[in-house]
């Protein structure tokens, strides 16, 4: 009975650990140790197999989380590869093919909703371990300067880069309009988008637009 009670606590610990810090189990050594512990725990409840089901579900969720984050990282690496000068690309394109944001989406609410979907996608990939990684590499609590060997913070970088990309998109869309009347309309449009972001609760996109 004591062994079963102890096993239940270990299972709870492993569940919270794998859900909160899945990156701790990305290497083969730690995954092997997890499986060995799981195997020993399942032996404590061989009669009804409840523990085995819980362990199996926990392992499956962990593998799915690691797979999703690995795929996300691969996509991130593709976007980080150097590209040719975007200014040159714009110049070589005919003026008629250079569509502005209004020709693609003229409804501020719809654009605000799409921006919010992107924000939620970025946020959903940020785990406590991403924040812990930065905290663990701080030189001191006084200056909050991070060292150059910070790793495993790709998801935070992606979120930060998205903020900068949105700011540059807004600036580009406004500045590339030649006529003052059209430029004024573009500014007013993005003000409306920022207002809709505020109403939704998407303050990050709102601040990027501002």
Phi first, then psi, for residue 146 (nearest 5°) are: -90, 145
CATH code where residue 183 lies? 1.10.840.10
The pLDDT-based confidence of 95 (bands split at 50, 70, 90) is low
My answer on whether 63 and 106 are in the same domain is: no
At residue 80, the pLDDT reads: 61
Q: 65 CB contacts (<8 Å, ≥6 apart)?
A: 18, 19, 22
- Domain range holding 201? 101-136+151-209
Tell me, yes or no, whether 95 lies in a domain: no
- Considering 52, 71, 90, which residue would you say is the last residue of a domain? 71
Q: Is the pLDDT of residue 147 over 50?
A: no
Q: How many domains does the chain have?
A: 2
In contact, 108 and 195? CB cutoff 8 Å: yes
- pLDDT (tens digit per residue) in 42-58: 877 666 677 788 888 88
What's the whole-number mean pLDDT along residues 175-200? 93
Q: Which helix (H) or strand (E) holds 154?
A: helix 154-175
The pLDDT-based confidence of 210 (bands split at 50, 70, 90) is very high
In contact, 44 and 2? CB cutoff 8 Å: no
Distance CA 92, CA 195 (A): 35
My answer on whether 112 and 192 are in the same domain is: yes
The pLDDT-based confidence of 149 (bands split at 50, 70, 90) is very low
Calculate the average pLDDT of the chain.
80
Phi first, then psi, for residue 7 (nearest 5°) are: -60, -40
My answer on whether 115 and 56 are in the same domain is: no
């Amino acid at each position: 009975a004591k062994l079963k009670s102890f096993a239940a606590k270990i299972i709870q610990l492993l569940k919270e650990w794998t859900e909160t810090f899945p990156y701790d189990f990305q290497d083969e050594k730690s995954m092997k140790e997890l499986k060995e512990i799981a195997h020993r725990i399942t032996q404590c409840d061989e009669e009804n197999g409840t523990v085995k089901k819980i362990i199996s579900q926990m392992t499956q969720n962990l593998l799915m989380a690691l797979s999703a984050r690995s795929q996300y990282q691969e996509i991130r690496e593709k976007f980080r590869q150097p590209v040719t000068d975007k200014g040159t690309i714009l110049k070589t394109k005919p003026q008629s093919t250079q569509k502005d944001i209004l020709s693609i989406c003229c409804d501020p609410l719809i654009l605000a909703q799409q921006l919010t979907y992107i924000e939620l996608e970025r946020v959903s990939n940020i785990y406590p371990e991403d924040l812990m990684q930065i905290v663990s590499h701080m030189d001191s609590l006084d200056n909050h300067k991070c060292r150059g060997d910070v790793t495993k913070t790709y998801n935070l970088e992606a979120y930060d880069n998205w903020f900068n990309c949105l700011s540059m998109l807004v600036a580009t869309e406004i500045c590339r309009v030649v006529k003052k009347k059209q430029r004024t309309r573009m500014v007013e449009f993005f003000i409306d988008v920022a207002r809709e972001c505020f109403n939704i609760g998407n303050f990050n996109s709102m601040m990027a637009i501002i």
